[in-house]
Chain A
Amino acid sequence: MIEVRNLTKRYGDTTAVDGLSFTVHPGLVTGFLGPNGAGKSTTMRMILGLDRPTEGEALVNGKRYQDLDHPLRHVGVLLDPSAVHHGRKALDHLRWLAASNGISGKRAVELLEQVGLGGVRHKRIKTLSLGMKQRLGVAAALLGDPHVLMFDEPVNGLDPEGVRWIRDLMRGLAKEGRTVFVSSHLMSEMALTADHVVIVARGQLVQETPMEALTRNGSLEDAYLDLTSGRGL
């Protein structure tokens, strides 16, 4: 479970996230939606302790991320697939991540096979396509077999087969009782994937609701645009 309580982030005079509170429950895929600059990535970074909140707190399973022992065993993260050393081989990338959290190196080999990258495990990351890098990021997120997963725009760069693969993966992870929190700009994709949605604009919560309630009278895109119109940057 992810609990965000009165989370606020200010950069000088600019407020990126403004008193945001919501809960991401296990057993569901929770979509995190909002216009560009709405504070989605900043919120995710604060949940992971990468950025410090000006006010409020974000807890994962009742603890701050930075206080978790072996955090990758609790939380799987895909924020930016390009945030890797491009000169390192795919397998070595997963091996150091595994070592950092006391996870067996064998798990890295298994996961590369699982995400369809077994054949390129000895290739340097710079030679992989964007879609392959995205799959590598997903493998890194699954490394510690975590109960909480956070994906930021996970279908970017994926072909239709890859999009379906990640959708099925996220649905499957939620079905296993895991907490899946995913941000995306693709409303059609979110409509197919998410059970619950958190919509933000200008750093503030606009709506937190089951997908079913939001799409009862129309498409997710229509509902989203109605809720966020005039609230963009």
Chain B
Amino acid sequence: MKNALAAEWLKLRTVRAPWGLVATIGLMVAAGALLSWLIVQDYDTSPAAEQAKFASADSSVVITPVVQFLVAALGALVATSDPRLTALAAVPDRKRLLAAKTALVATTAVVLGAAALAFSIGTSVLIMGDRPPPIAPWDGLGDVLPWAGAAVLSILVTGLVGLGIGLAVRSTAVTIVVVGVLLWGLPAITPMLPDPWNMDASAVMVPYLVWEVAGIVDDAPLGPPAAAGTLIVYVLVTLGTGTVTLLRRDA
């Protein structure tokens, strides 16, 4: 397992595409910080009545969906970028290969997610200073941590979902399209469903599950444990399908 993991790590860092994704995450985090600064500038020059209507200037809320997508693309690359023939000739024990890929994607997703969240929340706090709610959404560290934890969990989940779909469909392009539909397409459609399906369906969409896991939505259909369980179901279904495909199908 140690050798397989070392090989997967070497494979990931010796091609350009993953570094492009990491650079894009960095750019998005920087853009989020700029957005926070612009919102605060606008807030400071607005009358008090207008200031009360401002949305949060925390950029982590904006960048989390983007990081979810980029990490899912990274998972897709780990699954699909190297020809299966060569990968399986080197590591013919398919369970070991799967375990190495899963460990690599999980670790990379958590590191990238935690770094992106820490930087964006940190810069947002510095930019917002001691300004009051609603532009400063958090009362303190105890308020921030559930959101940050939920966001990192969702990034981990989307990375593994990307890996699972990639292993199942064996195409980077198709995987990225399916991930895009899961993260952005379906959540845009579910609110248009008839009542009460709209609420039920929206409650299990990834973007909404992040808020439910954090427990910071009033009257949320799902509590944090149920929402976290739903995220895990996403992983079980996609990675389970990818596992069956890898274990049973010819290379």
Contacts and interface: CB of A to CB of B under 8 A. Distances in A.
B91 interface: yes
A83 B14 contact: no
B244 to A, nearest CB: 14
A49 B92 contact: yes
Interface residues on B, range: 20 to 34
A95 B11 CA distance: 9
Contact of B15 (A48, A65, A85): A85
Nearest to B12: A96
Contacts of A48: 88-89, 92
Nearest to A78: B89
Nearest to A137: B86
B144 interface: no
A79 B89 contact: yes
A122 B92 CA distance: 28
B17 interface: yes
Given A50-B250, A50-B251, A88 B85 contact: no
A96 B7 contact: yes
Interface in B1-23: 3-4, 6-7, 10-11, 14-17
Contact of A84 (B3, B4, B17, B83): B83
Interface in A87-119: 87-89, 92, 95-97, 99-102
Given A100-B3, A101-B3, A92 B14 contact: yes
A45 interface: yes
Given A66-B93, A80-B85, A88-B15, A52 B7 contact: no
Helix, strand, loop or mixed for chain A's interface?
Answer: loop
Nearest to B92: A66
Nearest to B16: A87
B251 A51 contact: yes
B81 interface: yes
Contacts of B7: 96-97, 99-100
A233 B251 CA distance: 24
B3 A99 contact: yes
Contact of A79 (B15, B16, B85, B250): B85
Contacts of B93: 66
A204 to B, nearest CB: 21
Helix, strand, loop or mixed for chain B's interface?
Answer: helix
Contacts of A95: 10, 14
B82 interface: yes
Interface string A136-163: 0000000000000000000000000000
A28 interface: no
A71 interface: yes
B201 interface: no
B126 interface: no
A170 interface: no
Contacts of A101: 3, 90
A68 B90 CA distance: 11
A77 B10 CA distance: 21
B250 A52 contact: yes
Nearest to B94: A66
Nearest to A42: B250
A59 interface: no
B85 A83 contact: yes
A101 to B, nearest CB: 6
A87 B90 contact: no
A227 to B, nearest CB: 29
The 7 nearest A-B residue pairs measured at CB: A100-B7, A92-B14, A50-B251, A66-B92, A83-B83, A96-B10, A51-B250
30 contacts: A49-B92, A50-B85, A50-B89, A50-B251, A66-B93, A68-B92, A72-B89, A72-B90, A77-B89, A79-B85, A80-B85, A83-B85, A83-B86, A84-B83, A84-B86, A85-B81, A87-B17, A88-B14, A88-B15, A92-B10, A92-B14, A95-B14, A96-B10, A96-B11, A96-B14, A99-B10, A100-B4, A100-B6, A100-B7, A102-B3
Interface of B: 3-4, 6-7, 10-11, 14-17, 81-83, 85-86, 88-94, 250-251
